[in-house]
């Protein structure tokens, strides 16, 4: 029987999660074009998110499209990118695997929390968007750190060969 770490670092898991991540990224970008491409996800403060929400209300399908993005596509996206980069780190790190994947696990959790906050805002609870002042910058920081660690593990593995 294969250990969970060995399975997570396997080639099929890396390839499938990477392909799913890319497919979701493309779908999110295409859907975002319907609302001018500026998603709540990239608003770093509650104030900026509330301002963008006001703009979305002006668009014929602005709220509905963003609900679809935040409630469906962007709920799966952090799971895909989290699994992809965590799997790379697991596959190519020799030790300390848990430490290398923690930032990406936190990023995925923060991204899902951010999506739930955005869904509350899109449903009319604008005050909920104030949580983005903490959630969004922290999400980006953890995702960036997770990506850097995964790439560092890959680079070290290449250097060893």
Surface-to-core class of residue 41, CB atoms within 10 Å of its CB (0-12 exposed, 13-18 middle, 19+ buried): buried
**Mind listing the pLDDT tens digit for each residue in 132-153?**
999 999 999 999 999 999 999 9
Share of the chain above pLDDT 90, in %: 84
Between these two residues, 4 and 39, which has the higher pLDDT value? 39
**Mind listing the pLDDT tens digit for each residue in 101-115?**
999 999 999 999 999
Give the integer Cα–Cα distance in Å for 51 and 149: 35
Give the integer Cα–Cα distance in Å for 73 and 66: 10
Q: Tell me the backbone φ, ψ of residue 34, rounded to 5 degrees.
A: -70, -20
Whether 93 and 8 have beta carbons less than 8 Å apart is answered as no
Give the integer Cα–Cα distance in Å for 70 and 77: 10
Cα separation of the two ends of the chain: 28
**Mind listing the pLDDT tens digit for each residue in 32-81?**
999 987 899 999 999 999 999 999 999 989 999 999 999 999 999 999 99
Give the integer Cα–Cα distance in Å for 42 and 37: 10
Region 80-93 average pLDDT:
94
Between these two residues, 51 and 96, which has the higher pLDDT value? 51
Whether 6 and 13 have beta carbons less than 8 Å apart is answered as no
Q: Please, which contacts does 1-7 make with residues 24 or more away whose CB atoms are closer than 8 Å?
A: 5/90, 5/97
């Amino acid at each position: 029987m294969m250990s969970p770490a060995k399975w997570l670092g396997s080639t099929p898991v890396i390839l499938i999660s990477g392909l799913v991540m890319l497919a979701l990224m493309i779908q999110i970008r295409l859907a975002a074009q319907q609302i001018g491409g500026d998603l709540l996800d990239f608003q770093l403060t509650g104030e900026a998110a509330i301002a963008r929400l006001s703009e979305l209300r002006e668009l014929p399908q602005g709220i509905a499209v963003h609900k679809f993005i935040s409630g469906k596509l962007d709920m799966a996206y952090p799971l895909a990118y989290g699994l992809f980069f965590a799997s790379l780190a697991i596959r190519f790190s020799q030790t300390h695997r848990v430490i290398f994947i923690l930032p990406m696990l936190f990023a995925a959790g923060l991204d899902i929390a951010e999506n739930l906050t955005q869904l509350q805002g899109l449903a009319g609870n604008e005050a909920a968007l104030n949580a983005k002042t903490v959630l969004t910058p922290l999400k980006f920081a953890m995702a960036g750190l997770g990506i850097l660690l995964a790439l560092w593990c890959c680079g070290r593995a290449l250097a060893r060969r």
